[in-house]
Amino acid sequence: MEQIFFLFQVLHLLRLPKSGKQHLSTGALLDEKQVTLFIPCLVDQLYPEIGVALCNVLSAIGWSVNYTPEHTCCGQPAFNAGHRPEAKQAAAAFVAAFPGSGEIVTVSGSCTAMVRVYYEELFQEDARLPEVSRFVGRLAEFSEFIHRHDLYHKIQGVQRGRVGFHNSCHSFRELHIEREPLRILRCLDGFELIESANKQICCGFGGVFYLKYSTISSAMGGSRLQYFLDAGADTVVANDPGCIMQMRQEAASRKLNIRIYHLVEFLAQAMGLGCELNLSKRSAG
């Protein structure tokens, strides 16, 4: 109660411009397929370029994107730390930020797993459970989305480098995503996919683990990157902003000569979509 009161006070004092409140939608034609974006907080705050790449790729393969800026975090940090009441608070706000019934797509297997595996447990014996269950069914991770709608043929482009793929643990073990991202990568030409580097090894991020046990976490990140380097990779493509943050930081602090991209960034580059938000470019297909 006190928290809510505090929140109202803060909001009242600072009244922000209304632009944040609108449910924005861009480039919608009547016959077009639409999808809503969930931009995970790490992408929103640290790596907006991943969100831009997601928009541009979706738009280029013929989907129009909606974005509701109200949503921020799915609640996973609190949940993983054992702080379930706080996680539930965040989850409730998160679900409320996605009205309607359309599909939602995101760039994090970990956030998707949080929603799909734990949300209903979090709302057991709560009147909001039916609403939460409906929401859970709407969310898909990017490669699941591509697979579900069989959009592989729309992905074309040229990349370079010797590339290893890093599947996030939650995407692999909680969502059982295994072949989809590799199949997406194989739609591109010009680069070498190093299969031997794709072994399922944790990068050591793990949310609060990264804060509480930073030395262990960092050493795990270092040995994950070393595995890629030993396999001869000069580029890592990953599918989770958490893993990307961890590996980029390790690569920077260890001065390793390796580039780390999110799958959608890698696709956006290959498809020549630029770094600016651009929702007008359409593929011929």
Q: Tell which positions 243-262 bind other proteins, by CB under 8 A.
A: 245, 249-250, 252-254
Of the candidate spans 45-53, 126-134, 184-192, 260-268, the one that interacts with other proteins by CB under 8 A turns out to be 45-53
**Dihedrals φ, ψ of 2, to 5°?**
-60, -35
Neighbours of 236 (CB within 10 A): 26
Please report, for residues 164, 214, 220, the alpha-carbon distance to residue 217 in angstroms, rounded to integers and kept in the order given: 21, 5, 5
246 Ramachandran zone, left/alpha/beta (phi>0; psi -120 to 50): alpha
Residues 156-185 that bind other proteins (CB under 8 A): 169-170, 173-174
196 binds other proteins (CB under 8 A): no
69 binds other proteins (CB under 8 A): yes
Residues 94-123 that bind other proteins (CB under 8 A): 94, 97
264 binds other proteins (CB under 8 A): no
6 binds other proteins (CB under 8 A): yes
Of the candidate spans 47-55, 148-156, 184-192, 261-269, the one that interacts with other proteins by CB under 8 A turns out to be 47-55
What is the rounded radius of gyration, in angstroms, for the C-alpha atoms of the chain? 19
Query: In the bound complex, what is the minimum distance in angstroms from residue 103's beta carbon to other proteins?
Result: 19
231 within 8 A of 194, measured Cβ to Cβ: yes
32 within 8 A of 62, measured Cβ to Cβ: yes
Of the candidate spans 13-21, 153-161, 175-183, 232-240, the one that interacts with other proteins by CB under 8 A turns out to be 13-21
